[in-house]
Structure 1
């Protein structure tokens, strides 16, 4: 069972595009992923071409206890998605950061056996509140996208402190960090890549996902890069990233 929280405590680092394209790569390889959009901005849901009512999204799970399995939407690319809604922003007011509330998502996934035979990806919001902590509680590991800029590294450092806090409570979550929107030969990209490799060692992926027009244009068309441009460099990069995560045992195929 692999439950991956895609998280960085800085916005704009490509968490949503990473989740969407990594899930599409999995579906292309027959892994049948389940994706949970746990960001109230619901960008992943919109990217998937969905515009559901709040009661047909993960908000309904938190608000009224609707079974997660009843909220799954099957997408044309083979990905199973539990969508989000802007009403999800109410969850931080509805729930507290006590152990019972933070374990609700993990317990429901276990009770419904949603991760049995499938990889689950959780697209997290950057704010460290009930939603993100719930995702980290439910996750077996954390994937951290870092764009090739210095501020994104700061977000990764903040996440390091959060994960250390979980480890101190007996909730160790292995992580993998990868560089996103990398530009070959660009001084800042090269410096950030070197610093990430120095800082994270084996936890830093050798795969570098480059800045890609095909990925950006795919988003504008509400499509993952494998659907929009299957022969593009962007599709190749996400295929390599998945291969590395499987080969290193981070994701169990």
Structure 2
């Protein structure tokens, strides 16, 4: 099965909405995904309508060694979520970038067999610290959302260097890049799409997730796009993205 880190070294590119809506698409297809909110801003947790205490969030795993399986919350849309809390920001200050600390998440997931029979999505914070590096160590693939603007593309290029560094240490992670909030015919959208196609080739998804009012409105209602507007173009885009990730073998699913 796949442990997928959703990451770009720039904020505001749609990592959280991608994680939420891709997980919802998986749940609708009977895949029972597990999502870990590893961002101290806890936007994914809030989007899911949750407001847990620190001791009922992933912070408790890092701070107190609470088993991850004890922190899982089942959402009404069929997604299982390990929520976040703003106290998680302390982890980057208290833990070090040593092999032991960076492998804690990967080790716990393996020991608790959390990826057995389920796809795991990790919503990462944009800062390259202990949390994001822990996600990169725990995952076996990286999905990179890039909004159709230049600074988001620069964040993806910075991530290229991070992944190259991991590869040099024997920690290769395949990646897929996709364009988010795309506007057909908009000059910047078209230029960014062309540059991503040139730079990433087969690593760049054919699927383009368009700028979508239904996705934005769903966030305002603490709902994924499938719960808010299942027949919308936004829901269709994320369904296509999931199909492409499966068809290309990037996302492994149970037979």
Partner residue of 2:80? 80
Partner residue of 1:12? 12
Partner residue of 1:245? 245
1:93 Cα deviation after fit: 1.3
DSSP-derived class of the 2:128 partner = coil
Question: For residues 190 and 116 of structure 1, what CA distance do their matches in structure 2 show?
Answer: 40
Matches within 5 A, 1:220-231: 220-231=220-231
Matches within 5 A, 1:38-187: 38-187=38-187
Question: For residues 249 and 116 of structure 2, what CA distance do their matches in structure 1 show?
Answer: 17
Is structure 2 residue 23 aligned with structure 1 residue 23? yes
1:94 Cα deviation after fit: 1.4
Counting matched residue pairs gives 253
DSSP-derived class of the 1:31 partner = coil
1:189 Cα deviation after fit: 0.4
Q: Return the TM-score normalized by structure 1.
A: 1.00
Is structure 2 residue 35 aligned with structure 1 residue 35? yes
What's the CA shift string for 1:204-250, capped at 9, x where partnerless? Answer: 00000000000000000000000000000000000000000000011
Question: For residues 208 and 49 of structure 1, what CA distance do their matches in structure 2 show?
Answer: 28
Q: Return the TM-score normalized by structure 2.
A: 0.99
What's the CA shift string for 1:28-56, capped at 9, x where partnerless? Answer: 00000000000000000000000001000
Unmatched tracts of structure 1, length 5 or more: none
Question: For residues 252 and 117 of structure 2, what CA distance do their matches in structure 1 show?
Answer: 9
